[in-house]
Structure 1
Amino acid sequence: MKKKTGLGRGLGALIRDTAPDNESSDIEQIKSIDIELIYPREDQPRKQFDDETIAELAKSISDHGILQPLLLREVGDKFEIIAGERRYRAAKIAGLKEVPALIKDVKDNIVKEISIIENIQREDLNPIEEALAYEELLSEYNLTQEKLAAKVGKSRSYIANSLRLLGLDDYIKEYLIKGEITSSQGRTLLSIKNPLERKEYLNKLLENKINIREIERRAKKKHTGKVDIFIKDMEERFTEVLATKVKLIPGKKGGKIEISYFSNEDLDRIYEFFKEENYG
């Protein structure tokens, strides 16, 4: 069984931190909520919902009911889903009129964070959704990879490796989303710098004509030069500070710094970081 370190505590802490000091025990009680009054968040981190697994969950709900309540917050006369959209979708298919739910008074600026962490905790995200979720948390909450790792109960290297997947070609990301290649295979393909070669190796992987070790050996042959320990260390330090991939390209005199970004929001976050350092 896979050990999940810290995730449950992180989600619980987030919810507790947003609750008012005089919160009564009534709020903690599970309530039955009219399913027609519930709606999902527009910025839900999970983008892909597998129809087959939703149907299986609907069958289970028909037979046994919903075993884990939804987490909702009251917005006007309706309820917004913080966590549990899969259960909500399956319950609708199963024909339920009401669903069990915990109602929490959660502030706007923390709802998305709770939703993302809950999805990570339940392992409901595909590798690209997970990487985008980490990128969004880093950007919106101005976290370092180390702080994010502590918050979600992962190692910093796990976060960094997940974010690396966003550097893949879009067509390779689709294979990751569909589960036809693994995250490890995706990262290994990144080591092949030539796009045409990368596509060729992807096809060989899909046809089981090559394995990861062979691709790694091929990539190493392309990079036979000695690794500059100072440059490697500085790359890691830049990556930690900027919370994104940084590559140093040494030249005869000086060199270049290549900073990766994954969205306009991420680019704006990096700009604000440098702005604050110079003028803050």
Structure 2
Amino acid sequence: MAGRKNGLGRGLDALFPEKTPVSRENVRKPVTKPTKKAEMSVKADQKNESSNQKKTAMMVKISNVEPNRDQPRKQFDEDALLELSESIKQYGVLQPLLVSDKKDYYEIIAGERRWRAAKLAGLKEVPVIVKEFSAQELVEISLIENIQREDLNPVEEAMAYKRLMDEFHLKQDEIADRVGKSRTAVTNSMRLLKLSAKVQQMLIDEMITAGHARAILAISDKEKQETVAMRVFDEKLSVRETESLVKRILNPQKEKKQKTTTAEDAIYESLEEKMKGIMGTRVLIHRKKNDKGKIEIEYYSKDELERIIDLFESIN
């Protein structure tokens, strides 16, 4: 990751001590050495344990800790949370939460996933480290933590970059430096926000990939974006196939220019239209030499394929 003077660009490692002493006695500790499987299940929640300064963690009531409503990550994998909660039941929260003191409560800066899993595990208290940051630093830390763990979906990541630009007036190269990504990666991420809300939700729901989404971005009309996205999902198109589809939509004249107007062409076009009427879907006749060729019948879903097969079987 790219460096930064205040340490944020180096990730979250600079925020935690090597061994964090907890200020309260009688804190539950594991009585046996964690198994390899258990260590793997909490790997993402205990890799940031080195710091230039020693800080003290303290135990606080879990009811006094609340998530940051402005943090980039909005969705959490329920199965992963349950798996982490089971590990926490056995070994406790091995990595303290980083929080800000809001007087009436503690607001999570980093560690919401651990907090949620601890609540599922039924814990009454969690270890925290209290530290104050500026509003910009809070956004950066939450973004860095989630990016390091690959927890953000593409839209959440793009929204976080946009907030850094809009609220804190950072340029894309400055954002890239802070989160340890290339400027191109940040730019491509933010372009996803030009998609319609429906297509963005399809991306969040993993109905399409970021590669599909970037191909669809070539279409500015929001309704056409949604139509193409649904076709990509229904037909299970690859990214390359999506790119070709978008090109055909944007340049419809190219196909027409390739067509000739000979009498033979007119005959085949007539046959294609006739078969289209029979099949109820697009039909193409590809001609070869010596009066040979092949017929291509398109379908757009499994149900439509079964309908076409039933049509053939009904012919006696």
Give distance in 1, aligned partners of 2:222 and 2:104.
Answer: 52
Equivalent pair of 2:198/2:226 in contact (CA under 8 Å): no
> Aligned residue for 2:229?
202
Equivalent pair of 1:14/1:114 in contact (CA under 8 Å): no
- What SS does the aligned partner of 2:107 have? strand
- What SS does the aligned partner of 1:100 have? strand
Q: In 2 relative to 1, CA 38–194 (structure 1 residues): closer, same or farther, beyond 3 Å?
A: closer
Q: Per-residue deviation at 1:189?
A: 1.4
Give distance in 1, aligned partners of 2:223 and 2:163.
Answer: 30
> Aligned residue for 1:110?
137
1:143 has 2:170 as partner: yes
Give distance in 1, aligned partners of 2:61 and 2:189.
Answer: 38
1:33 has 2:60 as partner: yes
1:158 has 2:185 as partner: yes
Stretches of structure 2 that go unaligned for 5 or more consecutive residues are: 17-51, 254-316
1:178 has 2:205 as partner: yes
1:9 counterpart letter in structure 2: R
Equivalent of 1:76, from 96, 99, 103?
Answer: 103
- What SS does the aligned partner of 1:128 have? helix
1:141 counterpart letter in structure 2: F
1:215 has 2:242 as partner: yes
Task: Report percent identity of matched pairs.
Answer: 45
1:183 counterpart letter in structure 2: A
- Residue by residue over 1:92-130, the C-alpha shift from the partner in whole angstroms, topping out at 9 and shown as x without a partner, is 111111112222132345323322322222222111111
> Aligned residue for 1:9?
10
Q: Per-residue deviation at 1:10?
A: 4.2
Give distance in 2, aligned partners of 1:199 and 1:79.
Answer: 42
1:203 counterpart letter in structure 2: M
Equivalent pair of 1:138/1:144 in contact (CA under 8 Å): yes
Q: Could you tell me the TM-score, scaled by structure 2's length?
A: 0.60
> Aligned residue for 1:168?
195
> Aligned residue for 2:155?
128
Give distance in 2, aligned partners of 1:91 and 1:67.
Answer: 11
Q: In 2 relative to 1, CA 65–13 (structure 1 residues): closer, same or farther, beyond 3 Å?
A: closer
Deviation >6 Å, runs of 4+: none
Comparing both chains, which one has the higher relative contact order based on Cα–Cα distances under 8 Å and sequence gaps of 6 or more?
1
Equivalent pair of 2:143/2:179 in contact (CA under 8 Å): no
- What SS does the aligned partner of 1:81 have? strand
2:84 counterpart letter in structure 1: L
Q: Per-residue deviation at 1:11?
A: 4.1
**How many residue pairs end up in the alignment?**
214
Give distance in 2, aligned partners of 1:151 and 1:46.
Answer: 18
Equivalent pair of 1:32/1:99 in contact (CA under 8 Å): yes
1:159 counterpart letter in structure 2: V
Q: Could you tell me the TM-score, scaled by structure 1's length?
A: 0.67
Q: In 2 relative to 1, CA 142–53 (structure 1 residues): closer, same or farther, beyond 3 Å?
A: same
Equivalent pair of 2:212/2:242 in contact (CA under 8 Å): no
